[in-house]
Amino acid sequence: MFQLELLTNKTKEQSKSLQEKKSELEKKLSHAHEDHLDISSLNAELAEATEMVDLYNSLVRKLSIFKQNEDIIKAGSERELIEIAKSEQEGLTQEIETLLTDIEEKEIKQKLSDPDDSKSVVLEIRAGAGGDEAALFAADLFRMYKAFAVKQNWAVSIIDSSISESGGFKQLVAQIKGPSVYKYLKHESGVHRVQRIPSTESSGRIHTSTASVAILPEAKDIEVDIREEDLRVDTMRSSGPGGQSVNTTTSAVRITHIPTGIVVSCQDTKVQQQNKEKAMEILRARLYEKKRQEEAQKRSDLRSSQIGSAMRAEKIRTYNFPQSRVTDHRIKKSWHNLESIMNGEIEDMLQEISSELLKQLLEKVKAQENASQ
């Protein structure tokens, strides 16, 4: 049972604080264009603040009614009023405890939420074990993500790629631009495994191949400091499969970040400056991800462990073609519509994975809290 006076005072203070935060966000949003602020991020914050304000205001109202009923019961006035007050208290108690649970869970979710959720992403896919079949699988994964992106009205562009003789991708770097792309795709980082019979396999033997996926949130200039003197910029002619030249102008760009050794390339357009700008976006994303990982290693909170767990070495999913089955190993769940999934019908799967991983984190938080009490 809650302590009425203590809970009421705490709730009123929190409600006031959240209302002030909401007002401040509304003010920022009204000047977002002039101040060059991230509107999608502010909208997401405002939606969260509004939801919490509504919950706390509802709690304040129910606590006020509860207090009035307590006063009626203590005063011992008219029997009929006392009976009405007592009958209301039981239901109010349940409603207040439900609200407290909802508020606690939403506050934990907000602590675990990723500030990068509203961002566009850089998608990197690399063929792993399996030779040409791995490269073909890497191409299948890209087509899957691209088809899903089209359904979401996101823009997809290949920044750099290396094409195998079989027509697959040895490696590919692409941008996916749109609202909340990272929120949808962030759990896709890791090793994806395919089990199927290659078209070149005459004996019908099932082969296993892998491809690694990395989803990096795009970074703004203010989030990553890149000094001009730390860059080496090389220009070259664009090349196609087998190294053949596909462009007579020197438009392709390769940028090396000397302090970290990170190298990025772009031959997406026939204009060198545009390719340089896109390469810089990829470099910022990689440096930002490096920064995120380093900060996560310094912290011990659960959200940092969530960031740290999205590593390419972790096998996250298997695509079994003979059985038309896709299995996500993190949540131990399978889907039996492989063809639809490979055609980009992945929204339900992504939401189930995200919900289950969040549920696992919430359970860890509660276990930690119980252990510390």
| CA angle in degrees (0–180, nearest 5) for 176-180-182 | 60
pLDDT value of position 295:
77
Report pLDDT digits (tens) over 225-242: 889 999 999 988 766 544
**Please, are residues 227 and 170 in contact by the beta-carbon 8 Å criterion?**
no
Report pLDDT digits (tens) over 1-54: 567 888 888 899 998 999 999 999 999 888 888 877 777 778 878 888 999 999
pLDDT value of position 240:
54
CATH of domain 121-360: 3.30.70.1660
pLDDT value of position 125:
96
pLDDT value of position 251:
83
The string of DSSP letters for 196-219 reads: E--TT-SS---EEEEEEEEEEE--
Taking 50 as the pLDDT cut, the residues of the chain under it are 241-246, 302-311
pLDDT value of position 299:
53
CB contact set of 207 (below 8 Å; sequence gap of 6+): 130, 133, 195, 196, 197, 198, 201
Q: Which residues of 131-169 are buried (b: 16+ CB within 10 A; e: fewer)?
A: ebbbbbbbbbbbebbbbbbeeeebebebbbbbbbeeebb
Q: How far apart are CA 168 and CA 40, in angstroms?
A: 35
Residue 358, Cβ neighbours under 10 Å: how many?
16
The candidate with the shortest Cα–Cα distance to 304, out of 316, 319, 317, 294, is 294
As beta bridge partners, residue 253 has 235, 266
Q: How far apart are CA 41 and CA 38, in angstroms?
A: 5
pLDDT value of position 306:
46
What is the DSSP code (8-state) at residue 327? Answer: E
Listed by start position, the domains of the chain span 4-112, 121-360
**Please, are residues 196 and 321 in contact by the beta-carbon 8 Å criterion?**
yes
Q: How far apart are CA 127 and CA 117, in angstroms?
A: 27
pLDDT value of position 308:
44
